[in-house]
Amino acid sequence: MLNSRAMLYIQEPIKAFGGYSISYDKAKYVVIGVPLDETATFKPGYRFAPAKIREVSEALETYSLRIHSDYEGSPVHDIGDIVIVPGDIEQSLYRIEEILKNLMFDSKIPIILGGEHTITYPVMKALKDLKPCLIVFDAHFDLRYEYLGSRMCHATVMRRISEVIGFKNMLFIGTRGLCSEEADLIRQKGVEYLPAYIILKQDLSGTINNIRKFTRNCEKIYLSIDMDVFDPSYAPAVGNPEPEGLTPTIVLDVLSYLVDDKLIGLDVTEIVPQYDVNDVTSLLASKVIMETIVYHRARTR
């Protein structure tokens, strides 16, 4: 169970993800919101996403036709949101890391509702002893050494993570936005990635085979899904939208093949609900989370 200090950093949810929450001790998956909204440089508002994702998740049907299994009855506990310290990103990141260490000690699989993508850094610090591979679904590489004078922000987070787990343990999927500094780094370090334009042109089997070449050397896998990996026509409410993105069908198909007993956690980030149209971005995020849990549960029973 979370220790008393960790519990000081948690605020219970008004609504549970998916409409229900079993007891913590019986749960396999723990949903936790991280409303970090400190380093946005285009469209702020990430702090509203965890509550909105929970709200719309109750409207979704729960049966997955891809693998003929149901989310309903999944052993999920929604623990609430980490209390972020406004203006103090170091303290906020510290709290995220401490909570994640507690969850891993209790053998839980964290399902994290962001929040800006910076949250993935303390998560990977907490998981580093498991030697995980990180698979990132993102329009951007976020590999700048610094951005606007900051070494810790949404545009540098994957560079900081590379300093923790190494580039060889990172795979980027759906990328299409980068700067010259990042392009040079990717060539120099041999960073593995599957750009959106290639995925959109090839059939699913080609994409899956490329991902499996990477995952065959991974003992544990953590998934990080920045919602701007989707084309803005499907996910308009993101902090930094980029044209020519992936479709929900592609991403869910890939996840249905990718998710197995190697999975140790998932985060979904970068939604700004106030820019949404009929909540479609938050609904898509909820669908991704539910389907991922269904895939994992079906393959680990």
Phi-psi region of 17 (alpha: psi -120 to 50; beta: other; left: phi over 0): beta
User: What is the pLDDT, as a whole number, of residue 14?
Assistant: 86
pLDDT at 21 over 70: yes
Helix (H, G, I), strand (E, B) or coil at 216: coil
Angle at 125 between CA 120 and CA 127, to 5 degrees: 95
Please report how the helices 280-299 and 49-57 are oriented relative to each other, as an axis angle in degrees rounded to 10.
70
Structure tokens at 152: 């810790």
Residues 6+ apart with CB under 8 A from 160: 121, 151, 152
Q: Domain count of the chain?
A: 1
- Please tell me the distance from the alpha carbon of residue 177 to that of residue 193, in angstroms, as a whole number: 12
pLDDT at 7 over 80: no
Beta strand spans in the chain (E)? 10-11, 29-34, 63-64, 69-70, 76-82, 109-114, 133-137, 170-175, 192-195, 221-226, 263-269
Domain around 208: 4-299
> Tens digits of per-residue pLDDT, 278-292?
999 999 999 999 999
Residues 6+ apart with CB under 8 A from 94: 122
Residue 2 — very low, low, confident or very high, per pLDDT cuts 50/70/90? confident
Strands 192-195 and 170-175, how do they pair?
parallel
Residue 8 — very low, low, confident or very high, per pLDDT cuts 50/70/90? confident
Q: What is the mean pLDDT of residues 110-125?
A: 98
| Contact assessment for residue 37 and residue 45, using Cβ atoms and an 8 Å cutoff | yes
- Please tell me the distance from the alpha carbon of residue 169 to that of residue 9, in angstroms, as a whole number: 30
The domain that contains 263 carries what CATH number? 3.40.800.10
> Tens digits of per-residue pLDDT, 43-59?
999 999 999 999 999 99
Write down the residue that tokens 């909540």 correspond to: 279
Residue 92 backbone dihedrals phi, psi, to 5 degrees: -65, -45
> Tens digits of per-residue pLDDT, 149-175?
899 999 999 999 999 999 999 999 999
pLDDT at 182 over 80: yes
- Please tell me the distance from the alpha carbon of residue 36 to that of residue 13, in angstroms, as a whole number: 16
pLDDT at 217 over 80: yes
User: What is the pLDDT, as a whole number, of residue 1?
Assistant: 67
Residue 5 — very low, low, confident or very high, per pLDDT cuts 50/70/90? low
The whole-model pTM stands at 0.96
User: What is the pLDDT, as a whole number, of residue 157?
Assistant: 98
Residue 123 backbone dihedrals phi, psi, to 5 degrees: -65, -45
User: What is the pLDDT, as a whole number, of residue 4?
Assistant: 64
Report the percentage of the chain scoring pLDDT > 90.
93
- Please tell me the distance from the alpha carbon of residue 142 to that of residue 151, in angstroms, as a whole number: 11
Write down the residue that tokens 């197995």 correspond to: 260
Q: What is the mean pLDDT of residues 104-117?
A: 96
